[in-house]
Structure 1
Amino acid sequence: MSLKETGELIKSILNNVKISWIGMAIIILLLIFFCVIKWILSKYKKGKRTIKENVKEFCRDLINLKVWKRIILCIVVVILCVLVFVFCYLVKKPSPYQEIAILNDENEIIYPIGVDILNEKIIGEYTFFTYNTSQMIGDKIITYPVLYKWQKGKIAEKISKDACPHFEVIKNSVIYLNSTLADLSHGELYVARPDGMNKRVMEEELYDFSVDDEYIYFTYCFDTIGAGLEGHALYRIDLNGNHMTRMAYEISSPILKGSHYNVRIENGWAIYSNYKIQIENEANGLEKVVLLENTDDDWIYYTSNRLIKAKPDGTEQIVLDEADDFWYQIDKIEGEYIFYQKGNDKYKIDINGENKEKLND
């Protein structure tokens, strides 16, 4: 270990000791004086003399020193004390920003209290957090969350340009939405890292996103209709915004509830309000769908990019009508018939996939 590394190690240890710099200096000086006196007294050992006798002889020799030697000795002791006190002060020097501190629009330092910090996640020596900020827009005061990055001893750095309604941490990456101040329901997808990287990874806006250990999952922010449209499919990209893959189609069903914009990812499943879809490879519309509620029905009916009949636990799946990637949704189920839309046309078909009939507009 080099001298510099040794010094850094000592500084790190001392900095983590819960004691003031004055107390630390006194302890170090006492240890130094103890070691020096012990070493000096070891030179006085003669026969079976006691420590008390050695101390007396040492004191006599100290008194008998010439004046100039005593002056030099005092100067050395004073310099040693000053150096120890300076060293301890520098190591334990208090920073004005030991707690989270931010600058407001008037360049005033603010120390947010705990309830003001909406979310907080730590990556190494950095803390990423959202903090509610208020701003006058027109004649209204708008309050919105802003994403910051803070390192102990420094003022927090603003990360999101505008509002940040949602952020997550994957490995050493911070994934977040940058939204307009007036509407937090959708935003631009950004990836930030402690090294200073902070970039937008997609041109399109998203309603929200979910993450697992490797990927970002999202639904496009498009005002569209239909199970097969891009705006309603669940997509996945890597942490750099690359390798986009469609993982699941929107589900349309009288019994399967939930918004395709509100999804969380857990252990290979996309979980909605009362059902979940298994996501493994690129979607083909035949992904396993499991109802999360108890039901007395033997079968459930839904559309992905096909019309499907399946067991509620997803163990059996029967395709009643083939694929269409433009528009697929169930309007209603009456008796033994399913009424649905496929593409630009409307149909009805019985629950066994037979007697398909195109309906007039």
Structure 2
Amino acid sequence: MVTKKGGVARKTGAPAHIAATRAGTLKDVALLAGVSISTVSRALTGKGLISEQTEKRIRQAAEAANYRPNTLARGLKTQRSRLIGLMVHNLVGTSHRLLAEVAQQRLGAAGFQVILCVTGDDAEQEARFLTTMENYRAEGLIVIPTGRNGPQLAKFAQAGVPVIAVIRRQEEQALETILHANEEGAQAGTRYLLDLGHRDIGFIVGRADTTSGRERYVGHVRALTEAGLRPDPSRIHFGAYRPETGFRACEAMLANGRRPTAIFVANHEASMGAMRFIRERAIDVPEDLSLLCYEDTPWFAWNKPAITVVDSGPQRIAELAVERLLMRLDGVPTQLEHRVDAALVIRESCAAPA
């Protein structure tokens, strides 16, 4: 293109048909750099012998043309999308948040792009995300499954796409799964409260149809039974993995005349709601009520009083999930199940009953 300035004709660097407001094509870059389209392609993908000077000119031309590679088209051609799907229920739970952070860091360093979906434990949202990952030819998945789209997840595994299920088992599907030591953790927490002298313990746990909810309930009941106690259904509250579950359960147990002397919140998200209720009602911990939570988070240690927890090892869960996915991508065979140990962390929120 030719312009005039002060009566002197001058040439600009870009052809007239390249608009700065749109993304350029390989052809545009080739015209700007004065090379063939195939040379541009080799330079931008790092394939082929190209001089340093030519490669520099091509990259400058790509920037001037506002060129962006079509990752989807490249994936369809090469069958390698470099995309990993990561699906969690929320970013409130420590396990979920750390999983997202570790996956982004380590998979990104390995050359993959992580696509995150926060499902809210909604099966329809999960199904839509899985369809999108199938359409974009995702090379692997790390999922906290809702439990309601097993056949769709199995379809990936059958096609040779590694799927790592975390925290929950996808029933009836042979997916590689990484789980907390749920029964042992809940049993250890309940035993600790029993050893302090508590006999009236409220227990707030996740949904009964999930791996963690079901197994933590079993561990709690086992500890009570070993102590010669019969579980009281009015002291056991199942619920969704949300803060309001803890608030409503505490309201049911603490708003009447016969209060438990301790509450074990074995649903991490529900811990926030339980602590809100206790704070709003000015209940003193541990003088009036001992409080034990499941899954550690930094602010539990900063709270006054610091919260005693069953630490479920969320950092190790996240690291193991990513390690196993990378190993599977390298052809290492499936291992059906892994367990990460739980540990009791004693702080200030539990004491002998008054």
Normalized per residue, which structure has more helix? 2
Same fold (TM over 0.5): no
Q: TM-score, normalised by structure 1?
A: 0.26
TM-score norm. by structure 2 comes to 0.26
Larger fraction in strand: 1
Query: Higher relative contact order by CA 8 Å / sep ≥ 6: 1 or 2?
Result: 2
- Return the index of the structure with the highest Cα Rg: 1
